[in-house]
Amino acid sequence: MDLILTLVSGVAWTLVYVEAIRVGLRDRTYAMPVAALALNFAWETVYAARDIAVGLSAQGVVNVVWAVADVVIVYTYLRFGRAELPDFVTRPLFATWSVLVFGTGFAVQWLFLAHFGAHDASRYSAFLQNLLMSGLFIALYVSRQGPLGQSPTIAVAKWLGTLAPTVLFGVLEDAPFILGLGILCCVFDLAYIGLLLRPRPTRVRSLPAPSR
């Protein structure tokens, strides 16, 4: 059962990343909120490197695949992200901001490792940033006023990819903290799926005022 749930999570999240790359390149934008992207990229890079050092497990192989996919998503953010910011954000300012955000992502992962150790840190940080991502996806929809750079495939795959480890760690391993975070992720993910699937009102072009 552990292996099945690990593979379900691995396949679902890989689908999230592949679809995020496809949609990001199609819409010329980035398909994952940048704060969540920075934390995810750092998590997958840190734990993929640790897994390579100690010997790859099933989860280790998945982490390596995710880290490689994240590199491409980071590229879409760096390539298209500045266009969504105000004009006063110059290229140097955007570069500085990006270094700060991604550097913070790595710092957070190292702090979790230093305080909790690899076993707990990998789980606690993953579920906390997953919950953050769930909320930020909804905020991304609102800020873009629609589904630009998003898709129901990303939303459903993220939900399933989080549900599987919630069952694995929260239920089978009896970890109430992780179970609680997983349930909260599920609530936000289902809300996001509903947001993307709801019918969007058709804009009616306003007619010019009659001349007097």
Confidence tier at 205 by pLDDT (50, 70, 90): very low
SS3 label, residue 175: coil
Residue 208 pLDDT more than 90?
A: no
For residue 81, what is the DSSP state? G
Which pTM value belongs to this model?
Answer: 0.89
Max mean pLDDT among 54-58, 59-63, 173-177, 204-208 falls in: 173-177
pLDDT of residue 210: 44
Q: What is the pLDDT of residues 132-173, one digit of tens each?
A: 999 999 999 999 999 999 999 999 999 999 999 999 999 999
Confidence tier at 13 by pLDDT (50, 70, 90): very high
pLDDT of residue 6: 87
Question: Is 42:108 a contact under the CB 8 Å cutoff?
Answer: yes
What mean pLDDT comes out for the span 34-44? 96
User: Could you tell me which residue, 55 or 152, shows the higher pLDDT?
Assistant: 152
pLDDT of residue 198: 87
- Report the alpha-carbon distance of residue 177 to residue 12 in Å, rounded: 23
pLDDT of residue 204: 37
Q: How many CA atoms lie within 13 A of 4 on its CB side?
A: 3
pLDDT of residue 201: 57
pLDDT of residue 53: 82
